[in-house]
Structure 1
Amino acid sequence: MSTSASTSAHDEAAQWWATAVSHIEPGSIELRDRPVQDLIGSVGLVDTLWLLLRGDLPSPRQSALLEAALVAGVDHGPQAPSIAAARMAATCGVGLNNAIATGVNMLGDVHGGAGQQCVEMLDEIRTLHTQGRDWDTAATEVMALYQARSRYLPGFGHRFHPVDPRRDPLLRLTEEAVAAGVVGGDYLQAALAVERALRQRRAGARPVPMNIDGATAVIYAELGFPAPLARGLFVISRSVGILAHAWEETGQGRRNKGPIPRSVLPARLNAVDPPAAEESAS
């Protein structure tokens, strides 16, 4: 191969994998054009996450708001499918990374995707508001479209909590950020309008306030993250809890952990008593 042909192939390969996220050469690592040695010890993990996704560093108030949303979503106990799956996987002889991947791969449209769907819904409400509707009218119109397709409204209501304890602190921080001019507040207004519409529609019935997906969707949208990244950021957040649960499970000595204890299995499935049979069976 001639020198010019070799150079052309090299350039083509370089362009094939060209990225603005990072640049690596022998002795050099740059993240968004910033040398990694300048980031280590001076930039936190949340700021680095922002940097890689957005290309710049957040202000301290933006960083604090994003961190609050990430902290709020880290865990929801072993009854959450993603956590339960990771704990079972950890007893099956796979590595810790496989157990984490098992949990993360459970985060789909129904479990873990409501934040993305809520941002999309709030975007639609905001668009109608910019076209002249007041917030309540815009929310009612968009809600009707969503509830014609499903009885579930993404980001509102919770099967476990009458009022999600994560809602109030997240919205309070968002309100403070709006007052300080850190974020605009449109997505917060859209979400609160949905809550008002739900209260009026369900007068006298159990309220359906914002849940963690709705409250974090407000924050992600206010900070300028597009809807798909609302799910991506939730995955990063929840992977922390998945890791903790998978690690705890590895220390408890169980093998082939199933969804319910052996003692409550039907009698016909519990007839074989020797532990070796339980531990070796798939």
Structure 2
Amino acid sequence: MSDVSDWWRTDIIDMEPGVIRFRGHAIEDLIGNVSFPQMIWLMTRGALPTEGEARLLEAALVAAVDHGPQAPSIATARMAVTCGLPLNNALANAVNMLGDVHGGAGEQAVELYTAIAEAGGPDHAGAEIDRWQAERTKFIPGFGHRFHKPVDPRAPRLLGLVDEAASEGICSGDFANIGRAIEAELAARKGKPVPMNIDGATAVIYAELGFPAPLARGLFCLSRSVGAVAHAWEQMQQGGRNKGPTPPQYRWTYTGPKEAGE
């Protein structure tokens, strides 16, 4: 029997008839006493957060729930519904769109922030930016926005909450300083502001709270799932069948030969 019971090993949940415990906490003690952000923390980190830590995590989760039906993750959820799929499939389609380009910047920003911290702090931002661009990509994750100019309205609010939390001893504020140092370095190089965006700001919070970089993407998926469900449900109420990314009267640009063999 040990071969069977050890097939899956977990520190997360213990269960027997009439008993459910998450990380040692009885479910009946958690229900009604623990918020959803606290539960996320417990499940991913192994212990309950402080009230201040939970508030900061919740702020990051709230900030990233949606960015409109033009966002690929939301668009695919709505299109899935018009193809007859239920909410769970629409949600799965949305989450599967959250890759390195659309949805991965938060994870990458935590990686960059951590590299700067390990190098010695904000004064090393320039060197680590150079390293990132040489080894990874010219794009610096978490900064600049193609739509929100000159400022992504979510970022200053989140950074302000980090500053408040740091003043209360909830977090160090070190990663907020690193984020600001990157922002200043990019502005100096470009000759114009390159403000922090939602991915950069939530990455500051996740780094301040000690979440590893891969969990930053997981948390973003949880956050964006709220928007995906809301849009998929709205599309169900509106109706519509087989709606693609553009209205049918708009045709794509064909770039192939006019006739086979040409």
Do Structure 1 and Structure 2 share a fold, with TM-score over 0.5? yes
Q: Does 1:227 align with 2:213?
A: yes
| Runs of 4+, deviation exceeding 6 Å | none
Q: Whole-Å Cα distance in 2 between the matches of residues 113 and 135 of structure 1?
A: 23
Q: Whole-Å Cα distance in 1 between the matches of residues 8 and 122 of structure 2?
A: 45
Aligned to 2:82: 91
Q: Whole-Å Cα distance in 2 between the matches of residues 147 and 209 of structure 1?
A: 18
Letter in structure 1 aligned against 2:164: E
Cα deviation, 1:51-106, whole Å, max 9, x if unaligned, reads 11111111111000000000001000011100001100111111210011001000
Q: Does 1:52 align with 2:39?
A: no
Query: Could you tell which deviates more after superposition, 75-84 or 14-23?
Result: 14-23
1:179 counterpart (149, 167, 187): 167
Q: Does 1:13 align with 2:7?
A: no
Aligned to 1:151: 138
Aligned to 2:29: 38
| Residue 18 of structure 1, CA deviation | 2.1
| Residue 154 of structure 1, CA deviation | 0.5
Give the alignment's Cα RMSD to 1 decimal: 1.3
1:64 counterpart (46, 49, 55): 55
**In structure 2, the residue corresponding to 1:263 is in which secondary structure?**
coil
Cα deviation, 1:155-204, whole Å, max 9, x if unaligned, reads 1111111111100110000011111111112211111110110111122x
Number of residue pairs the alignment of both structures matches: 251
Cα deviation, 1:201-237, whole Å, max 9, x if unaligned, reads 122x3x2111101000000010010000000000000
Aligned to 1:7: none
**In structure 1, the residue corresponding to 2:15 is in which secondary structure?**
strand
Aligned to 1:274: none
**In structure 2, the residue corresponding to 1:187 is in which secondary structure?**
helix
| Residue 263 of structure 1, CA deviation | 3.3
Q: Does 1:257 align with 2:243?
A: yes
1:119 counterpart (110, 115, 132): 110
**In structure 2, the residue corresponding to 1:16 is in which secondary structure?**
coil
Letter in structure 2 aligned against 1:159: R
Q: Whole-Å Cα distance in 2 between the matches of residues 100 and 117 of structure 1?
A: 23
Provide the identity percentage.
Answer: 56
Q: Does 1:218 align with 2:209?
A: no
Question: Structure 1: any 5+ residue segments left out of the alignment?
Answer: 1-9, 269-282
Q: Whole-Å Cα distance in 2 between the matches of residues 151 and 50 of structure 1?
A: 33
Q: Whole-Å Cα distance in 2 between the matches of residues 81 and 94 of structure 1?
A: 17
Letter in structure 2 aligned against 1:17: W
Letter in structure 1 aligned against 2:161: L
Q: Whole-Å Cα distance in 2 between the matches of residues 209 and 146 of structure 1?
A: 18
| Residue 151 of structure 1, CA deviation | 2.6
Cα deviation, 1:1-55, whole Å, max 9, x if unaligned, reads xxxxxxxxx2221112121101111111111111101111111111111111111
Which of 1 and 2 has greater Rg? 1
Q: Does 1:246 align with 2:246?
A: no
Q: Whole-Å Cα distance in 1 between the matches of residues 250 and 238 of structure 2?
A: 20
Query: Could you tell which deviates more after superposition, 90-99 or 227-236?
Result: 90-99
Letter in structure 1 aligned against 2:188: Q
Q: Whole-Å Cα distance in 2 between the matches of residues 61 and 260 of structure 1?
A: 44
2:223 counterpart (233, 237, 243): 237
**In structure 1, the residue corresponding to 2:101 is in which secondary structure?**
coil
Q: Does 1:110 align with 2:97?
A: no
| Residue 252 of structure 1, CA deviation | 1.1
